Structure 1
Amino acid sequence: LGADYQNGFDAIFPKLAEKYGVPLYPFFLDGVAGEPALQLEDGLHPNAKGIDLMVERILPDVEKAIAVVKGNS
């Protein structure tokens, strides 16, 4: 989404995640945004292949978060 967006994001969200002790997944559409083969015709939303890639990439972080919660219960 460009350098301005990234600079604004990097200035806010990592600090909030640290402050509240929550995991941060920096860019959900990483590897999908800007890839026509992974997007619907609108050029904004992921298609099924794009969603599969998004899930594949975030799954390890989600599994770690679940393990932490289970370990604290």
Structure 2
Amino acid sequence: MEELAEGLLRTAFRVAKWVLFEWFVEVVLYWIGRGTLKFFSFGRYPHFNDKAEGRCITTGFLTVVVVFVALIYLL
């Protein structure tokens, strides 16, 4: 019985970890990247109907990495 409960808890934690990771990537990194692209393109890119999700997520990731490295360097 204990092994069954342990397996269920392990599965529940894996699902929760996956959901949180997907949320972080698709929401947090997307909007950071979208804001960064808007800032550097003076509001021209990306448009509302533009399918630039991958580019926004990549830009968001790079922005987070650059800020993190800059903070480490300054401290």
Establish whether TM, by shorter chain, passes 0.5: no
TM-score by length of 2: 0.32
**Which one scores higher on RCO, CA 8 angstroms, separation ≥ 6?**
2
Structure whose residues are more often helix by fraction: 2
